[in-house]
Amino acid sequence: MGNLTANFSRHEIVCKCKKDCGAEEVTDGHLSMMQTTRNIYGSPLGVSSAARCKAHNKAVGGKDNSEHIATKDSPAEATDHPYENTLDLHNLVTAAHKAGFIRVGIDFKNKFVHLGSSIHHPKPRLWGY
Ligand SMILES: [Zn+2]
């Protein structure tokens, strides 16, 4: 059970720098699509990264204009979700597209899916890295 939506909690969303940086939220629209993705996916869905302050984003190798970057006044528009195997990956990507995510990136090396909802970034729908 989550305290933000049925399945997601605040502690999964806040910046992991542990410095009270103010990067604590994703947009309501993103959160809603995350929950829809989870509903369609039908299995537990972990969150490996969500909101990041600029310093933490840089520390984890994020791009300067990353959708993960958040401030007190500007929520993040991205979350990363780990997957175990190819079937999970397929089901997660399919669920994310059905839920309305326009930016879905797959990190094959580290085995996670990036879900992005920014309308100010390119919209390739699906890419790998
Ligand atoms: Zn931070």
When pLDDT is cut at 50, 70 and 90, the band that residue 20 belongs to is: very high
CA of 17 to the centre of ligand 1 (A): 4
Q: What is the mean pLDDT of residues 72-89?
A: 97
Alpha-carbon gap, residue 47 to 38, rounded angstroms: 11
What's the gap in Å between 50 CA and the centre of ligand 1? 11
Q: How many CA atoms lie within 13 A of 70 on its CB side?
A: 24
Per-residue pLDDT band at 61 (split at 50, 70, 90) = very high
Task: Output b/e per residue, 32-61; b: 16+ Cβ within 10 A.
Answer: ebbbbbbeebeeebebbbbbbbbebbeeee
Q: How far is the CA of 87 from the centre of ligand 1 (A)?
A: 33
Give the single-character DSSP code of 61.
Answer: T
Q: How far is the CA of 128 from the centre of ligand 1 (A)?
A: 26
**pLDDT for 22 beyond 80:** yes
Average pLDDT over residues 33-58: 98
CATH of the domain at 83: 3.30.1380.10
Domain count for the chain, please give it.
1
Give SS3 for 93: helix
| Domain assignment of residue 107, given as a range | 10-128
